[in-house]
Amino acid sequence: MKLNNMKRAAAAVASMALLLGLAGCGAGSSSSAAQSGASSTASSTVNTESTGACKTGLGIVVGASVKDDRNASAVSTAVAVVLDSEGRIVSAALDVAQNSGSANEDGTLVVAESYQTKQELGDDYGMRKASGIGKEWYEQADAFCAYIVGMTADEVAAIPTDGSDADLAAGCTVGVDTFIEAAVKACQNAQELGANAGDTLSLAIVSENAHGNKDATAEEDGKLEIDSTFVVVTKDADGKVTSAVCDMMQAAFTVAADGTLTAPEAVLTKLEKGDDYGMRKASGIGKEWYEQSEGDGASLEGQAATERAARPPPGTPAPPRAR
């Protein structure tokens, strides 16, 4: 089963890479739906004053909760960054996957047909009317990203969360606690993967209902699981991928016979689980999930969207040789 999960994740990664290439470069632009979910991109350009190799990082904070016993929510805040040689942020992108599902009193599941991130919702998210500064969610998220450019991880961690910073409050008044946590994680996770000054940074998310979801019965608990795949890429002026990071989270809720849901105590992404994910024994190539994710990310480097689209998804059997 874990191997099947990996194949689904790899297929999602392949779709995401294509979506990233096709999406517009402006923050908040969106692309078409893929698999059982939808994706969006938040993009920005690395400060051209930076020189030399840069680091690419992704940080994800996941919260899983249950409201009124039968309504589940899985909220993933993702921040992508590019750092210069001094560890300062020269580019950042932010998005949130706020996904939900529920169960009826007889233990049957109610799940969404598709999911949209907050960046993808754009003006339809509906924050502007309630905002004291008249800005939509994506505008405030983009303002936060612009605000942290030039900062180190320690400086981001020190950002006040009470709204007392006038410069930040001018563009972003939503709660930034989770933004900060995810951004600090992204900086800590950043690695030299091939990004350079002048590259464009993009972040995309695809969410879907797990194929293993099942209704509860009197004899056995059911499961409601919502999965999200995250991909970060940097691209050069020719649209070629220079670095890529792929990660995935699976938020699984237990469903009782009366429809009562129980949230997991904590949700770690697959990269955070590392060797504890336990794929190596089931892998035909003896590699853990994070190792296979790193391999797929590395294989994207140097490719444009059209080239990636022409490449078969990971796990696809090779065509027979001509005789």
Residues 205 and 4: their CA atoms lie apart, in Å, by 20
Q: For residue 92, name the pLDDT band (cuts at 50, 70, 90).
A: very high
State what percent of residues in the chain have pLDDT above 90. Answer: 66
Tell me what pLDDT residue 306 has: 55
219 close to 184: Cβ distance less than 8 angstroms: no
Q: For residue 280, name the pLDDT band (cuts at 50, 70, 90).
A: confident
Residues 210 and 109: their CA atoms lie apart, in Å, by 12
182 close to 75: Cβ distance less than 8 angstroms: no
Asked whether residue 220 carries a pLDDT value surpassing 50, the answer given is yes
Higher pLDDT, 298 or 28: 298
- Average pLDDT of the segment spanning 164-172: 95
Q: For residue 282, name the pLDDT band (cuts at 50, 70, 90).
A: confident
Give the mean pLDDT of the chain. Answer: 81
Residues 226 and 272: their CA atoms lie apart, in Å, by 18
pLDDT tens-digit profile of 59-87? 999 999 999 999 999 999 999 999 999 99
Tell me what pLDDT residue 25 has: 30
Asked whether residue 246 carries a pLDDT value surpassing 60, the answer given is yes
User: Is the entire prediction scored with pTM above 0.85?
Assistant: no
Tell me what pLDDT residue 152 has: 98
Asked whether residue 308 carries a pLDDT value surpassing 60, the answer given is no
Tell me what pLDDT residue 307 has: 57
Residues 70 and 308: their CA atoms lie apart, in Å, by 41
Residues 186 and 145: their CA atoms lie apart, in Å, by 12
- From 21-25, 140-144, 288-292, the region with the lowest mean pLDDT: 21-25
Tell me what pLDDT residue 295 has: 53
- Average pLDDT of the segment spanning 92-120: 96
State what percent of residues in the chain have pLDDT above 70. Answer: 71
- Average pLDDT of the segment spanning 188-209: 94
- Average pLDDT of the segment spanning 175-181: 97
Tell me what pLDDT residue 322 has: 47
- Retrieve residue 320's tokens: 């027979």
Tell me what pLDDT residue 296 has: 56
Tell me what pLDDT residue 77 has: 98
Residues 215 and 110: their CA atoms lie apart, in Å, by 9
Q: Residue type at 8?
A: R
Tell me what pLDDT residue 197 has: 84
Residue whose pair of structure tokens reads 């320690």 in the numeric block? 154
Residue ranges of E strands in 112-163: none
Q: Is 282 helix (H, G, I), strand (E, B) or coil?
A: helix
- From 161-165, 255-259, 294-298, 305-309, the region with the lowest mean pLDDT: 305-309
Give the contacts of 119 (CB within 8 A, at least 6 positions apart): 27, 28, 30, 40, 41, 42, 94, 95, 96, 138, 141
Q: How many CB atoms lie within 10 A of CB 122?
A: 17
Tell me what pLDDT residue 318 has: 47
pLDDT tens-digit profile of 16-50? 444 444 333 333 322 223 333 333 445 444 444 55
Q: How far apart are the first and last CA of the chain?
A: 36
Burial class (CB in 10 A: 0-12, 13-18, 19+), 23: buried
Tell me what pLDDT residue 323 has: 43
Q: For residue 51, name the pLDDT band (cuts at 50, 70, 90).
A: low
